[in-house]
Amino acid sequence: MSAFVWLQKLGLTGRLNEKDTVFLPASEQIKAWRKANHKMEWGILPDEFDVLEDPPLISPEDRRQGFNGAVLFYGFGDDGSGSADAVLSGKLAWEYACKRRNRKTWQCEYVDFQRPEDIRLRSGAPGRPRGFYWAFLHTGERNIHLTVSQVRKKLETNTGCASEGFQLLAVSHTHFTNLMTARKMPFMALADYDVAPHGFNDFYDAPQLFCSNHVLGLGIGWTMNRKLWPDADKAAYRLGEPQKVTFKNSSSRLHPMHIHGVFFRVLERNGKKAAEPFTRDTVLVGPRESVTIGFVPEHPGIWLTHCHIQEHAEAGMMTTIDVAN
Ligand SMILES: [Cu+2]
């Protein structure tokens, strides 16, 4: 399910309990937006600030799902069908980050907002509302045990964007669950975008934000179901029950997919029966290829499943299967 809950049009009102949201209080977020709007000359009209509603209340059900704060976003431009122009919004957000980070940024030539024909919102991604809107976000499992001020400090240190940089996150459709803690290299998947500098007729990849050695980078991301470890979708199986799993590679690269704790056979490639009658623990999945494997879990435990290219796994292309007795 989507990590975003669209709230703007729902007419929900009520105050958020600011003590238990890790995001800045609404008034401070609005102040930050005013400041950024002035600095970047975005041209958001004073009227638009004046009619801003209070952030909505987080319901117990939202909390149960992990949402722990409301964040103010802005959708720039118009995509022609009533939604904001997602690529323009991305471009402006990245420009803002670059300005704020003062040259401590790095951009892969593969992701170029100056070439909007190379970037698109993935199919099925919800359109971005135009203008201001509130959305609930959650900070992810790895931040659960931190205090509010610790998480805020971490966001500031890792992204350099902190609260007023949230428009960058609006671009990314991220919910912070994908900030990496491992080696203190936080990644944010721009999980709702596809990039393809050579045209979309063939392959495409997903861009990703990361922070390493205080440099904020924009490059290519590697995800599983567009989510990053440790927030990726996890699978649960029962001991001895046969399973069929399909790895579907939508990217332009090869990914050797590896499962710990089970051995499997390749049953199908691109939906066609495969003649590969041997047992293995890794299968190379080619660009745009889909590979279906079959196995019987024989060892109880929680087993890692990941791309065996180290930097892909490190960037978050990893999850677990839980084999229960
Ligand atoms: Cu890989």
Sign of the torsion formed by the C-alpha atoms of 286, 288, 289 and 290:
positive
CA 227/CA 126 separation, integer angstroms: 16
Span from the CA of 254 to the centroid of ligand 1 (angstroms): 6
Residue extents of the structural domains in the chain: 8-221, 235-324
Q: What is the CATH number of domain 235-324?
A: 2.60.40.420
Amino acid at the residue 165? G
DSSP per-residue letters across 145-173:
TS-HHHHHHHHHHHHS-TGGGHHHHHHHT
- Measured in Å, residue 147 CA sits from the centre of ligand 1 at 34
The size of the chain, in residues, is 325
Q: How far is the CA of 256 from the centre of ligand 1 (A)?
A: 6
Average pLDDT in the chain: 75
Instruction: State the alpha helices, DSSP H only, in the chain.
Output: 26-40, 46-50, 60-64, 86-101, 148-159, 166-172, 310-314
Please report the pLDDT score of residue 32 as a whole number: 80
Look up the pTM and report it: 0.65
What's the CA dihedral at 223, 301, 266, 312 to 10 degrees? 20
CA of 260 to the centre of ligand 1 (A): 16
Residues of the chain with pLDDT under 50: 1-19, 162-189
* Cα 232 to averaged position of ligand 1 atoms, centre (Å): 15
Place of tokens 């087993």: 303
Instruction: Identify whether the C-beta of residue 270 lies closer than 8 Å to the C-beta of residue 308.
Output: no
pLDDT at residue 175, as a whole number: 34
For 137, half-sphere exposure in the C-beta direction (CA atoms, 13 angstrom radius) is 25
Residues within 5 Å of ion ligand 1, judged at the Cβ atom? 255, 307, 309, 312
Report d(CA 147, CA 244) in Å as an integer: 41
Rounded Cα gap, residues 307 and 258, in angstroms: 6
